[in-house]
Amino acid sequence: MRRIRALAAAALVTVSALALAACGGADPAKDPNAAIRVGVSPVPHAEILRYVADNLAKDKGIKVDVVEINDYVTPNTALAEGQLEANYFQHKPYLEEFQASRNVKLQPVGAVHIEPLAVFSKKVKKIDELQPGAKVALPNDPSNLSRSLNLLASTGLITLKPGTEQKATKSDVAENPKRVELLETEAAQLPRSLDDADAAVVNGNYQLEARLDLKTALAVEKAEGNPYANLLVTRPELAGDNRVKVLADLLRSQQVRDFIAKTFPGGVIPA
């Protein structure tokens, strides 16, 4: 297993090491027998992928190198630059926003699972108990910010201007009767923000890392019809690579569905 901590200086060294390692032998992107390097968030993606690597991949003739990455930017930049052959951490709206803002082209291969977004608090037990002027932390990347605003709107805490739901920003809040303060926060910091903010909308992977229990959430995103399924993503030129195809099939296999249901009951839902 490899780990990249992109918010620290060591990240640059580790990413560079990946590239140098590729230069030392056959290019993993072109060698059909090389291990496929996949960038993943530590939880739940790395755990799911490691299950595949340890239990399923060998029988299908592929090797999987699990590369843990602790932010939402490096997995795509490393993939685009050829330091990875695939990544598995993001949903389609985030991928589309990233491609547009960074002028890169990546290729989704298949949906694997959904992590419901949820509202947590250490100060109240129901969302209607939030006091006027309460501080609510939200993820600051555009797609998850929009997603979190829609979740808050579903509770009645705020309303959004009609037609803005898919790409809502704070300026699209039409009504905010309690005048709650919406604080855009780095997604990885949202669990910690619960010590200061009155509530926080937390991404699924960070819920799991922080051991937040969905049973205690003030509100949980619905899974049915949810467009935020996490994807296996590669570069366009690797979309036909047998390793990518096999990995996509394994990630959506019944064995993996059973592993997800057993390991992350309720917190991760097979797509």
pLDDT tens, residue order, the chain (271 aa): 454 443 333 333 344 334 434 444 568 888 888 999 999 999 999 999 999 999 999 999 999 999 999 999 999 999 999 999 999 999 999 999 999 999 999 999 999 999 999 999 999 999 999 999 999 999 999 999 999 999 999 999 999 999 998 899 999 999 999 999 999 999 999 999 999 999 999 999 999 999 999 999 999 998 888 889 999 999 999 999 999 999 999 999 999 999 999 999 989 999 8
Residue 26 pLDDT = 64
What confidence score (pLDDT) does residue 25 get?
52
Distance of CA 72 to CAs 41, 89, 107, 123, 173, Å? 8, 8, 17, 29, 26
Structural contact between residues 208 and 44, judged by C-beta atoms closer than 8 angstroms: yes
Cα–Cα distances (Å) from 103 to 12, 174, 234, 252, in that order, read 21, 32, 15, 29
With respect to CATH, is domain 118-220 assigned 1.10.150.120?
Answer: no
CA angle 103, 106, 112 (to 5 degrees): 140
Confirm if 235 and 167 have CB atoms less than 8 A apart. Answer: no
Would you state the pLDDT for residue 12?
Answer: 34
Is it true that the peptide bond before 162 is cis, omega within 30 degrees of 0? Answer: no
Give Cα 122 distance to the centre of its chain.
24
Q: Where are the domains of the chain?
A: 2-116+227-270, 118-220
- pLDDT reported for residue 166: 85
- Residue 208 phi, psi (nearest 5): -65, -45
Q: Tell me the residue ranges of DSSP E strands in the chain.
A: 2-4, 36-40, 64-69, 86-91, 107-114, 118-120, 135-139, 159-160, 173-175, 181-185, 199-202, 219-220, 230-234, 269-270
CATH architecture assignment, domain 2-116+227-270: 3-Layer(aba) Sandwich (3.40)
Could you tell me if 197 and 181 are in contact, meaning their C-beta atoms sit under 8 angstroms apart? no
The β-bridge relationship of strands 173-175 and 159-160 is antiparallel
State the CB neighbour count (10 A cutoff) for residue 177: 10
